[in-house]
Every structure is written in structure tokens, then in C-alpha cells.
Amino acid sequence: MQTYISGIAAQEGKSATLKGWLYNIRSGGKIRFLLVRDGTGIIQCVASQADVGEETFELIDTLTQESSIEVTGTVRADKRAPGGYELVMTKLELVGRAADYPITPKEHGTAFLMENRHLWVRSRRQAAILRVRHEIVRAIRDFFDDRGFVLFDTPIFTPAACEGTSTLFETDYFGEKAYLTQSGQLYAESGAMALGKVYCFGPTFRAEKSKTRRHLIEFWMVEPEVAYLDLDGDMELAEDFVFYVVEQVLANRREELDIIERDTSPLEKIKKPFPRISYTECVDILNKAGHPFQWGNDLGGDEETIVSSQFESPVMVHHFPAEIKAFYMKNDPQDERLALGFDMLAPEGKGEIIGGGQREDDYDMLVKKIQAHNLPLEAFDWYLDLRKYGTVPHAGFGLGLERTVGWICGLSHVRETIPFPRMLHRLKP
RNA sequence: UCCGGAGUAGCUCAAUCGGCAGAGCGGGUGGCUGUUAACCACUAGGUUGGGGGUUCGAGUCCCUCCUCCGGAGCCA
């Protein structure tokens, strides 16, 4: 029977068999200390020649880093062991010998580690980050599922741009041009008209030659869309949602945050309601902070950092100038220059994690906007149908998973937040 | 695409003014019964990113190309 290291404390004083890999080894004259990992944790296994016999003892000395092994022994609490428990070995079985594992227990550069990403994920820190990612994904699903949202999967292959601005990956679809999706939102809107409250959660693709710590070519986005919801309701949903995700990670992944050495106090300070400031107020804040900024420009990375650093909770900036926002966003009936959209900026200068808002629900207005953005009307005939057959006010938003993981884990770069990041000039492994 | 930085042993990095290419880790061999990225001794390991040029002599200076890193724009 196999025991997992995560549950080793319950086996104290008893016999256990661990199946894993050799993380590191240290030796004394007739004693060996094997650090064994099994994916759930790391434990020190102690072998003395007297306990395991000469043959096994010699086998231990031939083991290389990351060789796969099965070890049997007695679990014992010992202060000298990292983690507080160790396995006093009686038996060892070599499953697969590893040859010259490239990632040594020493410092490496990120370029080298990215080349070896398929092996880097075995390291303690990377594994912890990926566990937090999983927790965030679970919290996202639970949040929407518990509130009666229906998962509405949207297509990866699309016939045209969702937003004219970004560059798309073009593929050959049996002789026809098709593009990899950059958002499931337009399709999710159709879902909201059918099922009321929906969300889509999948990969999206942006062929922009972005080369910063916040960008990936392929990233995951969750996009809820709700019928009969306005901008205020949308922001409330986003606030409840992000708060829940942070709460769940703090409740369930303390150990991993500890391994990553994340200072959790900024996360613990987050409370509802999140600050809401209009774009126009935002311009004032920037100018008062000594950062000249003109009304009408879009917020860049520096601006986001200045604004978000004024608050402990994520801040929602709303009512942007309509000109700098996408065609599908509804204009403010009080002031046509403004769009009923919002961005949520994460604290600690981590930038935009959510973009969303109320959608244009008037048929004629939408036609005008599509034309104004120089987009082909015929590609959006089905989207316009949603306004033709029982249109309603509706809203939604998109949350970038990797940026959220990066913020919650306190990472400076999104490349460590996904098992195999696709970046400019990196398609392998 | 633009701006800046970097390519030297498997990895992380040194190499003075242009003058014999080195260290730590990792590998190998040996030693040590409580190690904590263990330690000690010995040992193997190089087309200095590619190409061209200057020079008696180039890792070092010049030209060019390639790769990677950081940032900008764009965005979640």
C-alpha cells in the first residue's frame, strides 16, 4: 500500500511505503539521508547499513537525483528532520534511474529553467504555485456554480475578430480562414439570453508581440455574462467574486503560500466594498500624484500602478471614455462620451485583472459602432440577432487567470503561473 | 516593431591595460553513523553564441548576424 507524504503524520510509529523521486541525498560514513518527494511533499528518509543491509546500502550510493524509487520504513517524529517527520528505511526499490538531471539544487537563471520547464515544475516552489493556481480555478468554478451560473463553453475557432484591435492567430479551416479566439464574451452573451447566467472558462490567444511580465500569448480567462444586469450589478458581482477567490486561497493554501514566501498580509487586508472610482476621478488622482495625465488617454501600466497603490483592496475604475473602449460596450445614457465599462486593478501594482461592463443592447447603436470600428457587419449578424429577438440590458466581465495567480502568489512575472507558458519567442517545451 | 542589457565548462559566474581561460556547484573516485542547498581530498570537463576584421597576440577592440533577458506600445 502507498502512503502519501502529505498524510505522513497519521502514520507515526507505523510502517509506510512511499513512491516517489529522489530530491537530494546527503551521506555520513555508514548512514544516508535521502530527501524523497512524491508530489504531495518532501520527507527525509534515513538509511543505516545495519537496517537496510549491505546490498541496499550500496544501491543507495548509486542513486542519482530524480531517480524514481519506492521506500519502505517506519515513520518517526524527529526534530532534526525537515518537516518534523522522517522515515527510517528498511527497504528500497529502484523504479527508474535518472541520468544527469539538469536542474541541480543550486541557482539557475530563468532562461535555463524555462528551457527545462517540463522538469522545473517538479521543484518545490513551482509545484506550490501550480497548486495555488488549481485552488483559484476551483474557487472560480465553485463561485459561479453555487450562484446558479451555467458553464457555457465557447468556441476556440472563430470566423472573425471579437475586438478589432488585437492581432489574431490565423489558421486554415479546410480552405477557409479561421482565427483562434481572443474572448468568449460575444458567444457568452448568446448564452446569457438562453440560460440567464452563464460563464465560459477557457484558453484565449493574442498574437500581439507583447513582451512584458504581464503578458502571455496563450492565457486562460473566465468570463461570466448575465442577462438583466447593469454596470453596478456587474461591479458588485466582480467584487464578490474576487473576494471569494482570495478568501478560498487564504483558507486552503497557507502551506503553499508559505513555500512561495508570499507575505499574506496584503491579501488579508482586502475587504468589501472595494473602492469604486470613475475614470474622471482617476485622472484627478494621477495629476494630484504628480503624474500629468490627460482626460481621454488610456491607462498604461505606470498609471495603473499609481492608482492601485492608493488602496489596499482591488480598485474598480469605471465610466471610461467610450472612444478607448471596445465596440460592444454600452454608452452611458447620462453622458454619451462615457462607456458603461470598468476595469479592476489588483493591489501591489499588479495591474488589470478584470475588464468588463454593460453591453450595447440597442440594435441600431450596435450597428453604428461596428461600422465606426471598421468591422465587417456580416460577421456579426448572429450577434446583432441577440438585439433583434428580445434584447435586454446585460453585463459581464473577463478575469485573466494568470494575472490573478501572479498577484495572489506575489510573483513578478506571469510565466510561472501556468505549466507551459506560451510567450513571444517561446513555444517549447 | 522600438529602446536598453547579456551570451565564457552541464549550471551560476570570474578573468586587471589586448598578454598562459579560472572558481563554486553538478559529474566521477575515495573518506566520514545525524546530515540540513552537508563536509573533506583527488579528478575529468572549453570551437569563450556564429561569421568576418584590426593586431606579433583577441574572451577582451571594430563590423555583422543569431539567441536570450528587461522595458515600451497593446492588452486580461
Strand order through the sheet with A170-173: A157-158, A176-180, A170-173
Bases of chain B below 7 A from a protein C-beta are 1-2, 10-13, 24-28, 31-39, 67-76
Query: Nearest nucleotide by C1' from A403 CA?
Result: B76
pLDDT for position A162: 52
Looking from the CA of A141 toward its CB, the CA atoms found within 13 Å total 9
Q: Nearest Cα to A185, choosing from A396, A349, A379?
A: A396
Q: What are the residues facing A173 on neighbouring strands?
A: A176
pLDDT higher than threshold 50 for residue A165? no
pLDDT higher than threshold 70 for residue A191? yes
A405 CA → B34 C1’, Å: 39
Report chain A's mean pLDDT, rounded to a whole number.
91
Mean pLDDT of A371-393: 91
Q: Is residue A273 part of a domain?
A: yes
Mind listing the pLDDT tens digit for each residue in A48-99? 988 888 889 989 988 989 999 999 999 999 998 988 999 999 999 999 988 8
pLDDT higher than threshold 90 for residue A1? no
Considering only residues 155-174 of protein chain A, which place a Cβ less than 7 A from any atom of strand B?
163, 165-166
CA closest to C1' of B30 belongs to: A29
Share of chain A above pLDDT 70, in %: 98
pLDDT for position A377: 86
CA closest to C1' of B31 belongs to: A29
Same domain flag for A45 and A166: no
Enclosing domain of residue A219:
117-417
pLDDT higher than threshold 90 for residue A227? yes
The CA distance from A399 to A356, in Å, is 9
Query: Could you check: is the Cβ of residue A97 within 7 Å of any atom of nucleic acid strand B?
Result: no
pLDDT higher than threshold 60 for residue A161? no
Other beta carbons within 10 Å of A97: 13
Same domain flag for A261 and A312: yes
pLDDT for position A112: 87
Same domain flag for A347 and A389: yes
The answer to whether the beta carbons of residues A219 and A204 sit under 8 Å apart is yes
The answer to whether the beta carbons of residues A197 and A224 sit under 8 Å apart is yes
Same domain flag for A51 and A145: no
Considering only residues 296-325 of protein chain A, which place a Cβ less than 7 A from any atom of strand B?
298, 300-302, 304, 324
Same domain flag for A76 and A201: no
The CA distance from A250 to A410, in Å, is 13
A295 CA → B69 C1’, Å: 35
Same domain flag for A221 and A73: no
Q: Is residue A287 part of a domain?
A: yes
Q: Which residue among A34, A66, A96 closes a domain?
A: A96
Query: Could you check: is the Cβ of residue A6 within 7 Å of any atom of nucleic acid strand B?
Result: no
Q: Which of A171-185, A188-202, A319-333, A342-356 has the highest mean pLDDT?
A: A188-202
Considering only residues 369-398 of protein chain A, which place a Cβ less than 7 A from any atom of strand B?
398
Q: Is residue A168 part of a domain?
A: yes
The answer to whether the beta carbons of residues A339 and A373 sit under 8 Å apart is no
Domain containing residue A144: CATH number: 3.30.930.10
Confidence of residue A126 (pLDDT cuts 50, 70, 90): very high
Tally of domains in chain A: 2
Query: Could you check: is the Cβ of residue A402 within 7 Å of any atom of nucleic acid strand B?
Result: yes
pLDDT higher than threshold 80 for residue A38? yes
The CA distance from A266 to A313, in Å, is 8
Confidence of residue A425 (pLDDT cuts 50, 70, 90): confident
The cell numbers describing A71, all together, are 521506500
The cell numbers describing A259, all together, are 513555500
Query: Could you check: is the Cβ of residue A100 within 7 Å of any atom of nucleic acid strand B?
Result: yes
Same domain flag for A92 and A121: no
Same domain flag for A390 and A248: yes
The CA distance from A272 to A120, in Å, is 37
pLDDT for position A367: 94
Q: How many residues does chain A have?
A: 429
Q: Please list, in sequence order, all residues whose beta carbon lies within 8 angstroms of the beta carbon of residue A132, skipping any fewer than 6 positions away.
A: A249, A253, A256, A257, A260, A405, A408, A409
Considering only residues 231-270 of protein chain A, which place a Cβ less than 7 A from any atom of strand B?
none
Give Cα A359 to chain centroid, integer Å. 26
Q: Is residue A258 part of a domain?
A: yes
Lowest mean pLDDT of A185-189, A208-212, A323-327, A387-391, name the range: A208-212
Same domain flag for A243 and A357: yes
Domain containing residue A68: CATH number: 2.40.50.140
Mind listing the pLDDT tens digit for each residue in A2-29? 999 999 999 999 999 999 999 999 888 8
Considering only residues 279-298 of protein chain A, which place a Cβ less than 7 A from any atom of strand B?
298
Q: Is residue A424 part of a domain?
A: no
Query: Nearest nucleotide by C1' from A356 CA?
Result: B76
Q: Is residue A107 part of a domain?
A: no
Query: Could you check: is the Cβ of residue A92 within 7 Å of any atom of nucleic acid strand B?
Result: no
Q: Which of A165-174, A244-253, A291-300 has the highest mean pLDDT?
A: A244-253
Query: Could you check: is the Cβ of residue A122 within 7 Å of any atom of nucleic acid strand B?
Result: no
Query: Nearest nucleotide by C1' from A76 CA?
Result: B34
pLDDT for position A374: 81
Share of chain A above pLDDT 90, in %: 64
Q: Is residue A428 part of a domain?
A: no
Mean pLDDT of A99-117: 84
Q: Please list, in sequence order, all residues whose beta carbon lies within 8 angstroms of the beta carbon of residue A224, skipping any fewer than 6 positions away.
A: A144, A149, A188, A197, A198, A199, A237, A241, A396, A397
The cell numbers describing A63, all together, are 542513486
Same domain flag for A84 and A126: no
Q: Which residue among A35, A63, A96 closes a domain?
A: A96
Q: Which residue among A96, A131, A165 closes a domain?
A: A96
Same domain flag for A182 and A213: yes
Same domain flag for A148 and A70: no
A229 CA → B62 C1’, Å: 66
Q: Is residue A112 part of a domain?
A: no
A109 CA → B56 C1’, Å: 40
Query: Could you check: is the Cβ of residue A219 within 7 Å of any atom of nucleic acid strand B?
Result: yes
Other beta carbons within 10 Å of A44: 20
Instruction: Tell me if residue A34 falls in helix, strand or coil.
Output: strand
The CA distance from A340 to A231, in Å, is 6
What is the SS3 assignment for A81-122? CCCCEEEEEEEEEEEECCCCCCCCCCCCCHHHHHHCHHHHCC
